[in-house]
């Protein structure tokens, strides 16, 4: 199969645990682009947080960010933005505050939180973005691109169930890490964004590769003709994937690209 488009998750997939991209992965991505294969990110990260990695690799495709809520080129051209409706966002935050979970809101590609917490500091360090403070939900005046709850995994699982029950079709709820619960526009998913991107390029889903590690990658893994989970992925994603590659710290992404796209060592993944 001649693949035409590769969508890659960032954290715990392309990025190693130290938040860097290996030289081997860089070579594999660059070589695939030189062959005419299109490469993009599909990440829950903020656009501004994903952008440095895109610039480093020279990606010229629309970047799927905020779980698919904001799709935008590295040069700043916006394809589309699907924020959460303001009244819904306020109700979600109001509903979640009594839980004591840390809450982030994202407006205009800026990070907002009500106050500094251990969780908030950890997140800002990972994302490498400044923190802005805002009374939530009282002073929320614009539609947020995304809302993020941060806390212990079991608490987030409980919150996820409650949010789905209460808000049903008005939001999308998914986990991107054990400690991250993402809330976005109901149509803002990586799978939807990847499907729209591929269709705009007249690329059949059979010629798309998607690589990820967590439940927020599930619908794009299912959409792609070849869905790949890294070895450190959650079990549910591994079961849904066509192939399980090596871990993020062991060049799993590079291995897939080398074998499927570059055909190195004459090895085919079946």
Q: Give me the active site residues, please.
A: 9
**Separation of alpha carbons 234 and 213, rounded Å:** 6
**Separation of alpha carbons 105 and 103, rounded Å:** 7
Query: Token pair of 226, please?
Result: 């070849």
Question: Could you tell me what percentage of the chain is helix, strand and coil, using 3-state DSSP and rounding each to the nearest 5?
Answer: 45, 20, 35
**Separation of alpha carbons 62 and 78, rounded Å:** 8
**Separation of alpha carbons 44 and 187, rounded Å:** 14
Indicate the length of the chain as a whole number: 270
**Separation of alpha carbons 134 and 49, rounded Å:** 20
CB atoms within 10 A of CB 20: 13
């Amino acid at each position: 199969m001649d693949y035409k488009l590769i969508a890659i998750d960032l954290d715990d997939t392309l990025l190693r645990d130290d938040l860097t991209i290996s030289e081997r992965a860089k070579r594999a991505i660059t070589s695939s682009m030189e062959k005419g294969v299109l490469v993009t990110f599909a990440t829950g990260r903020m656009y501004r947080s994903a952008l440095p990695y895109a610039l480093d690799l020279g990606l010229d495709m629309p970047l799927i960010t905020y779980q698919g809520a904001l799709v935008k080129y590295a040069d700043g051209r916006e394809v589309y933005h699907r924020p959460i409706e303001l009244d819904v966002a306020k109700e979600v935050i109001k509903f979640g505050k009594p839980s004591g979970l840390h809450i982030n809101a994202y407006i205009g590609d800026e990070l907002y939180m009500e106050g500094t917490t251990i969780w908030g500091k950890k997140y800002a360090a990972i994302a490498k973005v400044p923190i802005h403070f805002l009374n939530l939900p009282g002073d929320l005046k614009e539609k947020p691109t995304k809302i993020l709850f941060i806390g212990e995994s079991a608490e987030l699982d409980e919150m996820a169930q409650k949010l789905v029950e209460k808000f049903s079709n008005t939001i999308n709820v998914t986990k991107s890490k054990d400690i991250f619960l993402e809330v976005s526009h109901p149509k803002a998913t990586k799978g939807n964004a990847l499907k729209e991107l591929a269709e705009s390029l007249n690329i059949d889903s059979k010629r798309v590769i998607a690589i990820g590690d967590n439940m927020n990658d599930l619908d794009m893994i299912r959409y792609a003709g070849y869905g790949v989970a890294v070895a450190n992925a959650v079990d549910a994603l591994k079961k849904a994937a066509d192939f399980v590659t090596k871990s993020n710290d062991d060049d799993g992404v590079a291995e897939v690209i080398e074998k499927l796209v570059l055909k190195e060592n004459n090895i085919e993944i079946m």
